[in-house]
Amino acid sequence: MRDGRDPLASIAPVLPHLDALIIAGDLSNNPVFQWPRSLARIGQLIDPSRTWIVPGNHDYWSWRIDGEDRLAEIAKTAGAHLAQKRVIDIGTVRLLCATLWSDFQLTGDAPEAMHRRDMGKSW
């Protein structure tokens, strides 16, 4: 919204009719400042109690990897839910929620793993 455009404008009409809104990673970096603003806007479009946030890696930028209690507090204050390391059941759908991280040491060759990631190649 820095440039004055609303990134939610095109989907705003459908949001009130959803059973749930799952924000699956990367709501924003600097969550202490940005999450309340973002969730306030989202809360204008859908009941916040139907909103679940799974943090992505960008949600930890300018933040702490162990700061999930504070993220949960920010979400709760907005009326939403932090879904990190949780199971969510919505009707007959079950979601297992967690931030996924790359382990470049997994293969024993971190530089090659990073190179392959940068080149878009898989093993």
Amino acid at 30: N
Residue 39 is encoded by which pair of tokens?
């969730």
Phi and psi at residue 52, to the nearest 5°: -125, 135
* CA distance to 74, 109, 122, per residue, from 23 (Å): 14, 33, 26
Domain count of the fold of the chain: 1
- Say how many CA atoms lie within 13 Å of 50 toward its Cβ: 15
- Residue 93: which H helix or E strand, with range? strand 93-97
Q: Answer yes or no: is pLDDT of 121 > 70.
A: no
In a domain, 4, yes or no: no
Query: Reduced to 3 states, what is the DSSP secondary structure of residue 22?
Result: strand
- pLDDT tens digits, residue range 33-52? 899 999 999 999 999 999 99
What tokens were used for 96? 């297992």
- Report yes or no on 67 lying in a domain: yes
Q: Is residue 63 part of a domain?
A: yes
> Could you tell me if 20 and 93 are in contact, meaning their C-beta atoms sit under 8 angstroms apart?
no
Query: What's the mean pLDDT in 1-5?
Result: 66
pLDDT of 122: 54
**pLDDT per position as a tens digit, 59-108:** 887 767 677 899 999 999 999 999 999 999 999 999 999 988 777 888 88
Residue 5 included in any domain: no
Q: Assess if residue 2 is contained within a domain.
A: no
Global pTM value: 0.77
Host domain of residue 97: 12-120
